Structures are given as C-alpha cells and as structure tokens.
Chain A
Amino acid sequence: NAGVMQNPRHLVRRRGQEARLRCSPMKGHSHVYWYRQLPEEGLKFMVYLQKENIIDESGMPKERFSAEFPKEGPSILRIQQVVRGDSAAYFCASSLKREASYNEQFFGPGTRLTVL
C-alpha cells in the first residue's frame, strides 16, 4: 500500500524558470493539500483540492502559483518565473475525507526546491 508520493524529491531552478511539482495521493484518497515549509518554520497551508476542483486556495499567492488535480494523474503544483524566495520544501498531503472531525492527513516526502 504505497503512501503519498511526490516527485521530484529535489528540484533546482534558476530565477525565471518554471517549477512543476507532482503529488500522487494515497490509494483511495481524493483530497489533496499542498503546504510550504521554510527552513526552521512551520507548515503553511497553500491549497486544498479534490478531483478536478480547487476547494480552497486561500494560502496560495495570487500570482505565479497554480495547482490542479485532474481526473487522471497526479496533482500538480506549478510555480512560474521562480524567484529566490520560492526556495522551500513543498509537502503534499492526502486524506480520505475532509468534512469530518477526525481527518488524518498523510504526508508525502516533500519536494525541496532550490532557486539559484
């Protein structure tokens, strides 16, 4: 039973390039969450998606960032025209359902983005 998978694990980009991060949720999970974590800081919520729908993107910057979770395939977090401040670990989590009090989120190993 594979857990949440993310790739790549490490990604290096130069300023102005695009970064594309992928997340495959646990089998049977249709809820996906993306978080950003800066060094020595806590997790910051970015976006919550269900299949083909963005439910809550209140934590995602309005410009350069986008996310999708297509009917087939992994969820994608896309960062256009990256800047040095985008360097961080990006974690994806998935859960069985959201509208419930007990809702454990399972985390992927993260993608560490470095912008040169």
Chain B
Amino acid sequence: GQNIDQPTEMTATEGAIVQINCTYQTSGFNGLFWYQQHAGEAPTFLSYNVLDGLEEKGRFSSFLSRSKGYSYLLLKELQMKDSASYLCAVMDSNYQLIWGAGTKLIIKP
C-alpha cells in the first residue's frame, strides 16, 4: 500500500528552527510537495522536490532523498504566524497526490 508518515504535532519557540520530517512509500514517484494549512483554511503550496537535495526559499527549505524515501521541511526564524499544519504529499506513478495526515506546528513565544 501507499503510505506517507509525518509526526502528528511539534512545538517550537519563536525565533528558533524546526525540522518536520516525512517518510513515504508509494508506487512510483513524480515529486514531493509541502503545503501549509492554517486552521479552517485551504492548503497553500510551499515547495516541490523531484531531485535529491535541498531547495531553499526564504525562511523555508525542503530536502529530498529518493533512495531513503525521505523529505524534511526546515523552517528558520520561526514566527507566530507559522503556527499551522504542514502537509507532505507525494505524486505517484499515476500522477495522483498521496497526502500525509499533516504535522500541526505550535509556536510558543
């Protein structure tokens, strides 16, 4: 079966760095997405990785290792507005997105 695993909840302090991990087992791989979802709102796109390595975009970076079936999202200089759920999704060989349950990130002052 297809499976995406990520921690249910994480807590971090304002101004700090946090890393959210995602491991996956899917039938085929056509890229990995990270989305941010604030409570009661729609998911918004953060990043896309299809090749191994690190993609940096401002305070957010995303890393992929295809051989290990592993990705992480790194958030630096955390702000209170970063409190949200972070969803990992993998596009399988049929170009269907398989979604993780999301990691709820709580930022404390």
**Is B96 within 8 A of A56, CB to CB?**
yes
Task: Give the interface segment out of B40-48, B64-72, B75-83.
Answer: B40-48
Q: Classify chain B's interface size.
A: 20 to 34
Chain B proximity mask over A7-44: 1 for CB below 8 Å, otherwise 0: 00000000000000000000000000101000011111
CB of B99 closer than 8 Å to a CB of A? yes
Chain B proximity mask over A41-80: 1 for CB below 8 Å, otherwise 0: 1111100100000001000000000000000000000000
**Is A104 within 8 A of B44, CB to CB?**
no
Q: Classify chain A's interface size.
A: 20 to 34
Residue of B nearest to A105 (CB): B97
**Is A107 within 8 A of B91, CB to CB?**
no
What 5 A-B pairs are tightest by C-beta distance, nearest first?
A: A42-B101, A107-B42, A43-B99, A42-B99, A101-B30
Q: Which residues of A contact B (CB under 8 A)?
A: 33, 35, 40-45, 48, 56, 91, 98-110
Q: Which residues of B contact A (CB under 8 A)?
A: 4, 30-31, 33, 41-45, 48, 50, 87, 89, 91, 94-102, 104
